[in-house]
Structure 1
Amino acid sequence: MTRCRLCGSAELASVVDLGATPPCELFLTRERLDEPELTYPLHLRVCTNCWLAQIPPLIQPEETFTEYAYFSSFSTSWVEHAREFVDAAVDRFAPGFVVEVASNDGYLLQHVAGRGVRCLGIEPSANVGQAARDKGIATRTAFLDPETGAAVRAEHGPADLVVANNVYAHIPDVVGFTQGLRALVADDGWVSIEVQHLLTLVELNQYDTIYHEHFQYYTVASARRALATGGLALVDVELLPTHGGSIRLWARPEEAAGEPTERVADVLAREKGAGLDELAGYAEFAARVAKVRRDLLRFLIDAAEAGKTVAGYGAPGKGNTLLNHCGIREDLLAYTVDRNPYKHGRFTPGTRIPILPPERLAEDRPDYVLVLPWNLREELTEQLSYVREWGGQLVFPIPSLEIVP
């Protein structure tokens, strides 16, 4: 990558280099264990002109999202988060037509339909899109670009509300995707985008959310600049706890936007105070990432030498960044479990750790359970409360190693 994908500048500075890993969602079947895996550099850089943090677009979305291993509905808290958003948005805007981009398995649009509002999902992964259709949610299998946006608008009419949750980081063509959003939304409509906040990623060592599906990492300042490339203006922002710290961006077509709220200015000031508009703000991040790695490896090695058993919980994309960066294998983590049946019997990319059904934990009673989707800490602490019955402890690796009795 020699130029910024947003502004075209060649002034890209290194933030952290995590080596080379396989794509985080390409879980291996048993038959593929003797086959080689392609790995790609995972090197985060920041543009010193527009301050968009980004990794090289070495993997195209078609390679990952045509068939996808992530189904949103397996997270109870995420489905509830979507329901709360839908209820608030429908009450606020009374939309006649809602479109969600990267609508996954209908986790959000099922609530829109439940409110009696016409809706459509645009989902590139055929397998998860079919899960949405099985729920009765109209879903178009496609990647969003200006042409797709225009085609949907011509067929269904403009959307009063366009939702794009946890997808704005997943597209290498930021400008084309943003133009697609503008093509979808009515001239007086609203666009809502949720994406992880670079501020919390840096401040809380959330480096495992750096993986090849995430091409860029936004501050409000860089997101505002990205939105403008498609004729959208940022009018409001909310800080959310999801994914360890996210921003919900509210945008409108420029001609209907008006002045942004004070919350936009407040978050911009926080980002500036953290130094995210200068290289100094990123200077210590790589060192703190290295400490997370050392602490986790030290814990796992000490547990193994003490004869303690460690199993994992979850097989999220972020977990595969962590496992590969730390070089963790079965000798330190016997297996991990996941609620998603798609992953059962498969193996984590790169590290090749077996993925089993959650019931295995109660059968084996490990001394420690390493929680890989740490961003769902509250939900999973409750789900895994039964681990205490045999004296087991939960281990959270991010933002720093914590063992919970």
Structure 2
Amino acid sequence: MTDTDAGIPACRHCGAPLTRSLVDLGTTALANAYVPLERADTPCPRYPLHARICDACLLVQVEDAVPASEIFHEGYAYFSSFSDSWLAHAKAYVEMITARLALTGDDLVVEIASNDGYLLQYFVAKGIPVLGIDPAAGAAAEAEKKGVETRVDFFGERLARELVAEGRRPALVCSANVLAHVPDIDDFVAGIAVLLQGDAVWTVEFPHLLNLIQEVQFDTIYHEHYSYLSLVAVERILAAHGLRVFDVEEIPTHGGSLRVFACLEGAARPEGPGLARVRAKEAAAGLDRPQGYDGFAPKVEAVRAELLDFLRRAKAEGKTVAAYGAAAKGNTLLNYCGIGPDLVAFCVDRNPAKQNTALPGSHIPVHPVARLIEAAPDYVLILPWNLKREIMDQLGHLAARGTRFVTAIPRL
């Protein structure tokens, strides 16, 4: 993203000036920049977090992009395999798409942002050749242990041309929750267009902007997410690179997502029924016009006021509050609300890479889940609210001891 001559940020896709604000969340730490506990009090860099809407192409995006190399590095601590529900989602996708495309051992499946092999492992089990692409060396090493060949690199047109030169033409390219993470979205989509040939398919999943707006899911806005996607914006971006959407599924992941099926413009793929349905839903909600995004910021401010009131009352009453899930979305919430260890004593997480660290910006310590069992706090604030049911099922014994579970989104 660059500034226009007038000093106004320019759209990362079409270059138009970004004059319309969706919500300004102030300055926050990078959502996955966890700090070792012994350095918990060390100030961490903070960056502006301001989401804007492009009046021209309707792409919602953060105003100031942090270089991707500062986010997706060797120590990047997000591993998909620590969510049981996400693994189940991945396995179900593999079963569905293998049948839908009639994939065999003669086909190649490429996943972009393959992380720790959470998804491609299920193709491997079926004897279908795979290639993972991920810039985080730590996650890639975990994937290799699962038999998933992984290239440590950022995906774009350059890498796509390298793969084609090597003769690696996939029947399927899949990418779940990566398109929003790409600073140069046009380079990424151009790379997809290079990789695809014939009737090859690209499936891309992303949290649906419609749900972000309607359910006030502002905590899904963080520096790691450069864009916030609707079908209307995605169709325009793909069309600019000779691609088209031929079907869409609405799926429950991440508080409500879209799974888009795309192909080359001239591919023999008929349109599925989901495409017209989602187009109509977005139009009814006003996502096909800039004015449809107005009025979001006051709803965000109301969530902050409600959560702070609850935490301050709990403290005044001598109640203890802990958090579950050192999730990126939780860090946006905590930083925006100005919440620290004085209001939330500690956080727990199943991921060993996040344990014995402090949450970025808020400095709340992160411990293994066993700490929660020992402390039996009065309240547990579930930060990854999209996994609320899974987490409550895991901690049912705490509820039996009187612990209450709360989430802040969309309402307390």
- Normalising by structure 2, what TM-score? 0.95
The Cα shift of 1:51 comes to 0.6
Report the equivalent of 2:241.
Answer: 230
Query: What SS class does the counterpart of residue 100 from structure 1 fall into?
Result: strand
Q: Distance in 2 between matches of 1:394 and 1:61?
A: 35
The Cα shift of 1:257 comes to 4.9
The alignment status of 1:52 with 2:59, answered yes or no, reads yes
Report the equivalent of 1:74.
Answer: 82
The alignment status of 1:17 with 2:24, answered yes or no, reads yes
The Cα shift of 1:283 comes to 2.0
The structure 1 residue matched to 2:250, chosen from 218, 236, 239, is 239
Query: What SS class does the counterpart of residue 110 from structure 2 fall into?
Result: strand
Query: What SS class does the counterpart of residue 353 from structure 2 fall into?
Result: helix
Q: Verify the 8 A CA contact 2:325 2:349 in the aligned structure 1.
A: yes
Residues 1:121 and 1:57: Cα distance change in structure 2 (over 3 Å): farther
Q: Verify the 8 A CA contact 2:346 2:365 in the aligned structure 1.
A: yes
Q: Verify the 8 A CA contact 1:235 1:257 in the aligned structure 2.
A: no
Q: Distance in 2 between matches of 1:86 and 1:344?
A: 31
Written as runs of structure 1 = structure 2, the 5 A alignment for 1:247-326 is 247-326=258-337
| Cα deviation digits, residues 144-188 of structure 1 (max 9, x gap) | 011101112222521000001000000010110001112222332
The structure 1 residue matched to 2:43, chosen from 36, 41, 44, is 36
The Cα shift of 1:39 comes to 0.8
Query: What SS class does the counterpart of residue 343 from structure 1 fall into?
Result: coil
Residues 1:390 and 1:149: Cα distance change in structure 2 (over 3 Å): same
Q: Which moved more, 1:36-45 or 1:204-213?
A: 36-45
The structure 1 residue matched to 2:170, chosen from 159, 166, 171, is 159
Q: Distance in 2 between matches of 1:202 and 1:193?
A: 20
Report the equivalent of 2:6.
Answer: none
Q: Distance in 1 between matches of 2:314 and 2:40?
A: 27
Q: Verify the 8 A CA contact 1:45 1:53 in the aligned structure 2.
A: yes
Q: Verify the 8 A CA contact 1:369 1:392 in the aligned structure 2.
A: yes
Q: Verify the 8 A CA contact 2:18 2:52 in the aligned structure 1.
A: no
Query: What SS class does the counterpart of residue 177 from structure 1 fall into?
Result: helix
Query: What SS class does the counterpart of residue 243 from structure 1 fall into?
Result: helix
| Cα deviation digits, residues 343-381 of structure 1 (max 9, x gap) | 111000000000000011110110110000001122112
The structure 2 residue matched to 1:90, chosen from 98, 108, 119, is 98
AA at the equivalent of 1:333: V
Q: Distance in 1 between matches of 2:19 and 2:186?
A: 19
Q: Verify the 8 A CA contact 1:46 1:54 in the aligned structure 2.
A: yes
Q: Verify the 8 A CA contact 1:199 1:271 in the aligned structure 2.
A: yes
The alignment status of 1:126 with 2:134, answered yes or no, reads no
The Cα shift of 1:385 comes to 1.2
AA at the equivalent of 1:79: L
The structure 2 residue matched to 1:144, chosen from 132, 144, 155, is 155
Q: Which moved more, 1:194-203 or 1:380-389?
A: 380-389
Structure 1 segments unaligned to the other structure (5+ residues): none
The structure 1 residue matched to 2:344, chosen from 320, 333, 340, is 333
Q: Verify the 8 A CA contact 1:312 1:336 in the aligned structure 2.
A: yes
Q: Verify the 8 A CA contact 2:65 2:183 in the aligned structure 1.
A: no
The Cα shift of 1:260 comes to 2.8
Structure 2 segments unaligned to the other structure (5+ residues): 4-8
Report the equivalent of 1:190.
Answer: 201
Q: Distance in 1 between matches of 2:69 and 2:244?
A: 29
Identity level (%): 46
Query: What SS class does the counterpart of residue 44 from structure 1 fall into?
Result: strand
Q: Verify the 8 A CA contact 1:57 1:172 in the aligned structure 2.
A: no
Q: Distance in 2 between matches of 1:336 and 1:34?
A: 16
Query: What SS class does the counterpart of residue 106 from structure 1 fall into?
Result: coil
AA at the equivalent of 2:59: L
| Cα deviation digits, residues 67-122 of structure 1 (max 9, x gap) | 21100000000000000000111111123110000000000000010111000100
Report the equivalent of 1:200.
Answer: 211
Query: What SS class does the counterpart of residue 116 from structure 2 fall into?
Result: coil
AA at the equivalent of 2:223: H
Q: Distance in 1 between matches of 2:363 and 2:167?
A: 45
The structure 2 residue matched to 1:65, chosen from 69, 72, 77, is 72
- Normalising by structure 1, what TM-score? 0.97
Q: Distance in 1 between matches of 2:322 and 2:150?
A: 37
The alignment status of 1:99 with 2:83, answered yes or no, reads no
The Cα shift of 1:276 comes to 1.6
Written as runs of structure 1 = structure 2, the 5 A alignment for 1:173-184 is 173-184=184-195
The Cα shift of 1:224 comes to 0.6
Q: Distance in 1 between matches of 2:363 and 2:205?
A: 31
| Cα deviation digits, residues 216-245 of structure 1 (max 9, x gap) | 111100011111233211111111110001
Query: What SS class does the counterpart of residue 328 from structure 1 fall into?
Result: coil
AA at the equivalent of 2:14: C
Q: Distance in 2 between matches of 1:253 and 1:142?
A: 24
Report the equivalent of 1:396.
Answer: 407
AA at the equivalent of 2:57: C
| Cα deviation digits, residues 37-62 of structure 1 (max 9, x gap) | 21111111000111100012431111
Runs of 4+ in 1 over 4 A off after TM superposition: none
The structure 1 residue matched to 2:231, chosen from 193, 215, 220, is 220
Q: Distance in 2 between matches of 1:35 and 1:227?
A: 43
